Structure 1
Amino acid sequence: MAFTITSPAFAAGGDIPRTFTCDGDNTPPPLAWEDPPRDTRSFALIMDDPDAPNGTFTHWVLFDIPAERTELAGGSRSDAVGMSGKNSRSELGYMGPCPPSGTHRYYFRLFAIDTKTLDLAAGATRKQVEDALARHTLQTAELMGRYKKA
Protein backbone atom coordinates (compact mmCIF):
# COMPACT_ATOMS: atom_id res chain seq x y z
CA MET A 1 0.00 0.00 0.00
CA ALA A 2 1.11 3.56 -0.67
CA PHE A 3 1.26 6.36 1.90
CA THR A 4 -1.61 8.68 0.95
CA ILE A 5 -3.35 11.83 2.19
CA THR A 6 -6.96 12.63 1.28
CA SER A 7 -9.76 14.95 2.29
CA PRO A 8 -13.44 14.05 2.52
CA ALA A 9 -14.11 17.73 1.66
CA PHE A 10 -12.61 17.68 -1.84
CA ALA A 11 -11.17 15.26 -4.38
CA ALA A 12 -7.51 15.29 -5.38
CA GLY A 13 -7.18 18.07 -7.94
CA GLY A 14 -10.69 19.30 -7.12
CA ASP A 15 -12.03 22.55 -5.74
CA ILE A 16 -11.45 23.35 -2.07
CA PRO A 17 -14.82 24.33 -0.54
CA ARG A 18 -15.25 28.01 0.25
CA THR A 19 -15.69 27.38 3.98
CA PHE A 20 -11.97 26.49 4.26
CA THR A 21 -10.83 29.73 2.57
CA CYS A 22 -10.55 33.44 3.38
CA ASP A 23 -14.00 33.84 1.82
CA GLY A 24 -15.47 31.42 4.37
CA ASP A 25 -14.55 30.34 7.90
CA ASN A 26 -10.81 30.20 7.12
CA THR A 27 -10.44 26.91 9.01
CA PRO A 28 -8.54 23.84 7.80
CA PRO A 29 -10.27 21.16 5.74
CA PRO A 30 -10.48 17.67 7.20
CA LEU A 31 -7.48 15.56 6.23
CA ALA A 32 -6.90 11.84 6.59
CA TRP A 33 -3.96 9.61 5.80
CA GLU A 34 -3.17 5.94 5.63
CA ASP A 35 -0.35 3.47 5.17
CA PRO A 36 2.59 5.49 6.50
CA PRO A 37 5.94 3.68 6.65
CA ARG A 38 6.25 1.26 9.57
CA ASP A 39 9.03 3.26 11.25
CA THR A 40 7.01 6.50 11.37
CA ARG A 41 7.34 8.24 14.76
CA SER A 42 5.54 11.51 13.87
CA PHE A 43 4.24 13.58 10.97
CA ALA A 44 4.67 17.12 9.63
CA LEU A 45 2.35 18.99 7.28
CA ILE A 46 3.10 21.90 4.96
CA MET A 47 0.43 23.58 2.84
CA ASP A 48 1.48 26.04 0.15
CA ASP A 49 0.44 27.88 -2.99
CA PRO A 50 3.08 27.73 -5.76
CA ASP A 51 0.95 30.03 -7.95
CA ALA A 52 1.20 33.07 -5.66
CA PRO A 53 2.36 36.20 -7.55
CA ASN A 54 5.53 36.68 -5.47
CA GLY A 55 6.59 33.03 -5.35
CA THR A 56 5.40 30.11 -3.25
CA PHE A 57 3.22 31.21 -0.34
CA THR A 58 3.19 29.02 2.77
CA HIS A 59 -0.29 28.72 4.28
CA TRP A 60 0.28 26.19 7.05
CA VAL A 61 3.18 24.54 8.85
CA LEU A 62 2.43 21.87 11.44
CA PHE A 63 4.97 19.43 12.89
CA ASP A 64 5.44 16.88 15.69
CA ILE A 65 2.01 15.42 14.90
CA PRO A 66 1.85 12.17 16.91
CA ALA A 67 2.33 8.96 14.91
CA GLU A 68 -0.96 7.58 16.27
CA ARG A 69 -2.91 10.26 14.39
CA THR A 70 -4.52 9.29 11.12
CA GLU A 71 -6.51 12.47 10.57
CA LEU A 72 -7.04 16.14 11.35
CA ALA A 73 -10.67 17.10 11.83
CA GLY A 74 -12.05 19.77 9.54
CA GLY A 75 -12.53 23.21 11.01
CA SER A 76 -10.22 22.40 13.89
CA ARG A 77 -7.49 24.64 15.14
CA SER A 78 -4.16 22.88 14.94
CA ASP A 79 -2.78 24.13 18.26
CA ALA A 80 -3.88 20.98 20.10
CA VAL A 81 -2.19 18.67 17.57
CA GLY A 82 1.54 18.99 17.19
CA MET A 83 3.41 22.27 16.96
CA SER A 84 2.54 25.18 14.67
CA GLY A 85 5.16 26.86 12.54
CA LYS A 86 4.95 30.23 10.85
CA ASN A 87 3.13 30.76 7.58
CA SER A 88 4.27 33.36 5.02
CA ARG A 89 2.60 36.11 7.06
CA SER A 90 4.77 35.11 10.06
CA GLU A 91 1.62 33.95 11.86
CA LEU A 92 1.07 30.62 13.57
CA GLY A 93 -1.56 28.22 12.30
CA TYR A 94 -3.67 27.80 9.21
CA MET A 95 -4.31 30.50 6.66
CA GLY A 96 -6.86 29.45 4.05
CA PRO A 97 -6.62 29.88 0.30
CA CYS A 98 -7.07 33.50 -0.76
CA PRO A 99 -5.75 33.99 -4.30
CA PRO A 100 -5.69 37.58 -5.58
CA SER A 101 -6.92 36.45 -9.01
CA GLY A 102 -7.40 33.31 -11.03
CA THR A 103 -7.36 29.71 -9.89
CA HIS A 104 -4.47 28.69 -7.65
CA ARG A 105 -3.24 25.23 -6.66
CA TYR A 106 -2.82 24.40 -2.96
CA TYR A 107 -0.58 21.51 -1.96
CA PHE A 108 -0.94 19.68 1.33
CA ARG A 109 2.27 17.69 1.87
CA LEU A 110 2.38 15.22 4.74
CA PHE A 111 5.79 13.97 5.82
CA ALA A 112 6.24 10.67 7.68
CA ILE A 113 9.14 11.22 10.07
CA ASP A 114 11.51 8.80 11.82
CA THR A 115 11.61 10.75 15.10
CA LYS A 116 8.93 11.82 17.63
CA THR A 117 10.04 15.43 17.53
CA LEU A 118 11.96 17.70 15.19
CA ASP A 119 13.28 19.51 18.30
CA LEU A 120 11.93 22.85 17.11
CA ALA A 121 9.88 25.36 19.06
CA ALA A 122 6.42 26.54 18.08
CA GLY A 123 6.85 29.38 15.61
CA ALA A 124 9.64 27.68 13.66
CA THR A 125 9.96 28.92 10.09
CA ARG A 126 9.23 26.73 7.10
CA LYS A 127 12.96 26.67 6.32
CA GLN A 128 13.79 25.44 9.83
CA VAL A 129 11.16 22.72 9.54
CA GLU A 130 12.32 21.71 6.04
CA ASP A 131 15.95 21.58 7.19
CA ALA A 132 14.94 19.19 9.99
CA LEU A 133 12.73 17.19 7.63
CA ALA A 134 15.66 16.70 5.25
CA ARG A 135 17.31 14.55 7.93
CA HIS A 136 14.23 12.65 9.11
CA THR A 137 11.67 12.15 6.30
CA LEU A 138 10.80 8.55 5.51
CA GLN A 139 8.13 9.26 2.89
CA THR A 140 5.88 12.08 1.68
CA ALA A 141 2.21 12.04 0.66
CA GLU A 142 0.61 14.89 -1.28
CA LEU A 143 -2.88 16.23 -1.91
CA MET A 144 -3.59 19.14 -4.24
CA GLY A 145 -6.77 21.20 -4.30
CA ARG A 146 -7.72 24.34 -6.23
CA TYR A 147 -9.45 27.57 -5.33
CA LYS A 148 -10.62 30.67 -7.20
CA LYS A 149 -12.24 33.59 -5.43
CA ALA A 150 -15.86 34.18 -6.38
Structure 2
Amino acid sequence: MRLNQTLLLALFCLLVFPSQAIELNSIDISEGKTLKKAQIFNQWGCSGENSSPELSWSEIPIGSKSFAVTMYDPDAPTGSGWWHWLVVNLPANTQGLPANSGVKGGANLPEGASMVNNDFGFKGFGGACPPAGSAPHNYQITVYALDVAHIELPDNATAALAGYNIYQHLLGKATLTAPTNAR
Protein backbone atom coordinates (compact mmCIF):
# COMPACT_ATOMS: atom_id res chain seq x y z
CA MET A 1 0.00 0.00 0.00
CA ARG A 2 2.81 2.43 0.88
CA LEU A 3 4.41 1.97 -2.57
CA ASN A 4 1.11 2.92 -4.25
CA GLN A 5 0.90 6.11 -2.17
CA THR A 6 4.46 7.03 -3.11
CA LEU A 7 3.75 6.47 -6.81
CA LEU A 8 0.56 8.54 -6.60
CA LEU A 9 2.41 11.37 -4.87
CA ALA A 10 5.16 11.29 -7.52
CA LEU A 11 2.57 11.37 -10.32
CA PHE A 12 0.73 14.25 -8.63
CA CYS A 13 3.96 16.26 -8.34
CA LEU A 14 4.75 15.68 -12.02
CA LEU A 15 1.29 16.92 -13.02
CA VAL A 16 1.11 19.91 -10.68
CA PHE A 17 4.78 20.97 -10.73
CA PRO A 18 6.03 20.03 -14.20
CA SER A 19 9.76 20.43 -14.72
CA GLN A 20 10.52 22.91 -17.46
CA ALA A 21 13.99 22.53 -18.87
CA ILE A 22 15.21 25.47 -20.93
CA GLU A 23 16.14 24.75 -24.53
CA LEU A 24 19.40 26.53 -25.50
CA ASN A 25 20.51 26.74 -29.14
CA SER A 26 23.14 28.56 -31.14
CA ILE A 27 24.11 28.85 -34.79
CA ASP A 28 27.68 29.50 -33.57
CA ILE A 29 28.11 26.73 -30.98
CA SER A 30 27.11 23.07 -31.02
CA GLU A 31 27.21 20.77 -28.02
CA GLY A 32 30.53 18.93 -27.97
CA LYS A 33 31.89 20.68 -31.09
CA THR A 34 35.02 22.85 -31.08
CA LEU A 35 34.52 26.60 -30.71
CA LYS A 36 34.89 28.62 -33.90
CA LYS A 37 37.62 31.23 -34.44
CA ALA A 38 35.01 33.93 -33.76
CA GLN A 39 34.78 32.84 -30.10
CA ILE A 40 38.57 32.73 -29.54
CA PHE A 41 40.19 35.61 -27.62
CA ASN A 42 42.37 38.08 -29.55
CA GLN A 43 45.12 38.74 -26.96
CA TRP A 44 47.43 36.76 -24.69
CA GLY A 45 48.87 34.89 -27.68
CA CYS A 46 45.44 33.92 -29.03
CA SER A 47 44.35 35.08 -32.48
CA GLY A 48 40.58 34.86 -32.68
CA GLU A 49 37.86 37.41 -33.30
CA ASN A 50 36.67 37.65 -29.67
CA SER A 51 32.98 37.73 -30.61
CA SER A 52 30.35 36.34 -28.26
CA PRO A 53 28.18 33.62 -29.85
CA GLU A 54 24.62 33.98 -31.06
CA LEU A 55 22.31 32.30 -28.55
CA SER A 56 18.58 31.58 -28.47
CA TRP A 57 16.45 29.96 -25.80
CA SER A 58 12.93 28.65 -25.39
CA GLU A 59 10.92 26.40 -23.04
CA ILE A 60 11.14 29.10 -20.37
CA PRO A 61 10.14 28.12 -16.81
CA ILE A 62 6.90 29.65 -15.58
CA GLY A 63 7.60 32.66 -13.37
CA SER A 64 10.82 33.70 -15.14
CA LYS A 65 11.38 37.43 -14.64
CA SER A 66 14.89 37.79 -16.10
CA PHE A 67 17.81 35.85 -17.50
CA ALA A 68 21.57 35.67 -17.04
CA VAL A 69 24.14 34.25 -19.47
CA THR A 70 27.67 33.10 -18.69
CA MET A 71 30.65 31.47 -20.36
CA TYR A 72 32.90 29.58 -17.97
CA ASP A 73 36.01 27.40 -18.36
CA PRO A 74 36.16 24.83 -15.53
CA ASP A 75 39.46 23.48 -16.91
CA ALA A 76 41.50 26.68 -16.52
CA PRO A 77 44.61 26.06 -14.41
CA THR A 78 43.57 28.42 -11.61
CA GLY A 79 41.96 26.24 -8.97
CA SER A 80 38.66 28.05 -9.57
CA GLY A 81 38.14 27.99 -13.35
CA TRP A 82 37.88 31.09 -15.54
CA TRP A 83 34.89 33.35 -16.19
CA HIS A 84 34.86 34.58 -19.79
CA TRP A 85 31.47 36.32 -19.84
CA LEU A 86 28.72 37.24 -17.38
CA VAL A 87 25.52 39.00 -18.42
CA VAL A 88 22.77 39.73 -15.89
CA ASN A 89 19.39 41.44 -15.87
CA LEU A 90 18.32 40.36 -19.33
CA PRO A 91 14.60 41.24 -19.50
CA ALA A 92 12.01 38.45 -19.26
CA ASN A 93 10.96 38.93 -22.89
CA THR A 94 14.51 38.26 -24.14
CA GLN A 95 14.64 35.06 -26.20
CA GLY A 96 18.28 35.21 -27.17
CA LEU A 97 21.32 37.32 -27.95
CA PRO A 98 22.77 38.08 -31.38
CA ALA A 99 26.42 37.41 -32.12
CA ASN A 100 28.79 39.98 -30.59
CA SER A 101 26.37 41.01 -27.83
CA GLY A 102 29.31 40.84 -25.45
CA VAL A 103 31.16 43.80 -26.93
CA LYS A 104 32.84 45.92 -24.22
CA GLY A 105 30.51 48.59 -22.89
CA GLY A 106 27.35 46.56 -23.50
CA ALA A 107 26.12 48.55 -26.52
CA ASN A 108 24.74 45.37 -28.14
CA LEU A 109 22.78 44.17 -25.08
CA PRO A 110 19.04 44.68 -24.54
CA GLU A 111 18.09 47.71 -22.45
CA GLY A 112 18.48 47.04 -18.73
CA ALA A 113 21.01 44.22 -19.15
CA SER A 114 24.58 44.60 -17.90
CA MET A 115 27.83 42.68 -17.75
CA VAL A 116 30.02 41.77 -14.79
CA ASN A 117 33.82 41.85 -14.97
CA ASN A 118 35.20 38.66 -16.48
CA ASP A 119 38.46 37.11 -15.30
CA PHE A 120 40.37 39.04 -17.98
CA GLY A 121 39.38 42.14 -15.98
CA PHE A 122 36.79 43.86 -18.18
CA LYS A 123 33.00 43.92 -18.67
CA GLY A 124 32.51 42.12 -21.92
CA PHE A 125 33.06 38.84 -23.71
CA GLY A 126 36.55 37.40 -23.42
CA GLY A 127 36.87 34.45 -25.78
CA ALA A 128 38.56 31.12 -25.25
CA CYS A 129 42.33 31.20 -24.81
CA PRO A 130 43.62 28.00 -23.21
CA PRO A 131 47.32 27.80 -22.37
CA ALA A 132 49.52 26.71 -25.28
CA GLY A 133 49.88 22.93 -25.47
CA SER A 134 47.03 22.19 -23.08
CA ALA A 135 44.38 19.55 -23.58
CA PRO A 136 41.06 20.94 -24.83
CA HIS A 137 39.19 23.04 -22.28
CA ASN A 138 35.41 22.61 -21.98
CA TYR A 139 33.80 26.03 -22.35
CA GLN A 140 30.33 26.10 -20.78
CA ILE A 141 27.84 28.63 -22.14
CA THR A 142 24.82 28.74 -19.83
CA VAL A 143 21.52 30.60 -19.80
CA TYR A 144 19.76 30.93 -16.42
CA ALA A 145 16.07 31.75 -15.88
CA LEU A 146 15.61 33.78 -12.69
CA ASP A 147 12.67 34.57 -10.41
CA VAL A 148 13.59 38.27 -10.04
CA ALA A 149 13.54 41.05 -12.63
CA HIS A 150 16.80 42.60 -11.46
CA ILE A 151 19.86 41.43 -9.53
CA GLU A 152 21.51 44.25 -7.59
CA LEU A 153 25.29 44.09 -7.90
CA PRO A 154 27.95 46.69 -7.16
CA ASP A 155 29.80 48.07 -10.17
CA ASN A 156 32.93 46.15 -9.17
CA ALA A 157 31.12 42.82 -8.54
CA THR A 158 33.13 39.65 -8.94
CA ALA A 159 32.03 36.63 -10.92
CA ALA A 160 31.60 34.74 -7.63
CA LEU A 161 29.19 37.38 -6.30
CA ALA A 162 27.22 37.37 -9.55
CA GLY A 163 27.08 33.57 -9.49
CA TYR A 164 25.89 33.55 -5.90
CA ASN A 165 23.04 35.92 -6.78
CA ILE A 166 22.13 33.96 -9.90
CA TYR A 167 21.86 30.70 -7.95
CA GLN A 168 19.74 32.34 -5.22
CA HIS A 169 17.07 33.11 -7.84
CA LEU A 170 17.44 30.15 -10.22
CA LEU A 171 14.32 28.65 -11.84
CA GLY A 172 16.06 26.71 -14.58
CA LYS A 173 19.14 26.62 -16.77
CA ALA A 174 20.60 25.09 -19.91
CA THR A 175 24.23 24.68 -20.94
CA LEU A 176 26.09 24.12 -24.19
CA THR A 177 29.65 22.80 -23.74
CA ALA A 178 32.19 23.39 -26.50
CA PRO A 179 35.76 22.08 -26.13
CA THR A 180 38.75 23.80 -27.71
CA ASN A 181 42.48 24.14 -27.40
CA ALA A 182 42.65 26.58 -30.33
CA ARG A 183 44.68 29.72 -29.83
Runs ≥4 residues deviating over 6 A: none
Verify: 1:85 aligned to 2:116, yes or no. yes
Contact 2:29-2:176 within 8 A present in 1 as well: no
1:123 is displaced (CA, Å) by 4.1
Cα pair 1:52 1:99 within 8 Å, conserved: yes
2:52/2:101 contact within 8 Å kept: yes
Equivalent positions of 1:13-92 (< 5 A) are 13-22=32-41, 23-55=47-79, 56-77=81-102, 79=106, 80-81=109-110, 82-92=113-123
CA RMSD in angstroms, aligned pairs only: 1.6
Structure 1: unaligned runs, 5 residues or longer: none
Name the count of aligned residue pairs.
150
Q: Is the 8 A contact 1:50 1:57 kept in 2?
A: yes
Larger Rg: 2
**Percent identity over the alignment?**
29
Q: What TM-score, normalized to structure 1?
A: 0.91
Greater Cα shift, 122-131 or 12-21: 122-131
User: Could you tell me how far apart the structure 2 residues matched to 1:129 and 1:54 are?
Assistant: 19
Q: CA deviation at 1:89?
A: 2.3
The TM-score normalised by the length of structure 2 is 0.76
Write 1 or 2 for the structure with the bigger share of strand: 1
Matched, 1:12 2:37: no
Bigger RCO of structures 1 and 2 (CA < 8 A, at least 6 apart): 1
Gaps of 5+ in 2: 1-19, 42-46
